[in-house]
Amino acid sequence: ETGVTQSPTHLIKTRGQQVTLRCSSQSGHNTVSWYQQALGQGPQFIFQYYREEENGRGNFPPRFSGLQFPNYSSELNVNALELDDSALYLCASSPDPDGGQFFGPGTRLTVL
């Protein structure tokens, strides 16, 4: 196990709602990256947080936002949920922005 934890494990929301997903990074890691993995696809980079600031962003709209806290845990927030947001959301922590990324088990989000 990587020591990266995510909550909740599963979540069901309806279109238009907002959701918050949480991630606790591995001890000693100060960087958290978030990915979206659609069924049958590889993970797609959403953004990375380093020392409580966004450190890079993929091709996702502004309704995807995040936070990182002083203890390096992180949240992913998605507003105005759409059906296509249904996916596995993965969090990966690393010892620094350029370090190897270690993934948590993911949160399975279903939007109805």
Binding residues for other proteins, rule: CB under 8 A, are 2, 4, 31, 33, 35, 40-45, 48, 50, 55-56, 58, 90, 92, 97-106
State in angstroms the smallest separation of the CB of 12 from other proteins.
17
Between residues 15 and 51, which has the closer beta carbon with respect to other proteins? 51
CB of 4 closer than 8 Å to CB of 27: no
In the bound complex, what is the minimum distance in angstroms from residue 37's beta carbon to other proteins? 8
DSSP codes of every residue in 3-56: S-EEE-SEEEE-TT--EEEEEEPPTT--EEEEEEE-TTS--EEEEEEETTEEEE
Of 17 and 41, which has the nearer Cβ to other proteins? Answer: 41
Of 34, 103, 25, residue with least CA distance to 71: 25
**Toward other proteins, which CB reaches closer, 50 or 65?**
50
Please, what is the minimum distance in Å from the beta carbon of residue 24 to other proteins?
13
SS3 assignment, position 100: coil
CB of 7 to other proteins, least distance (A): 13
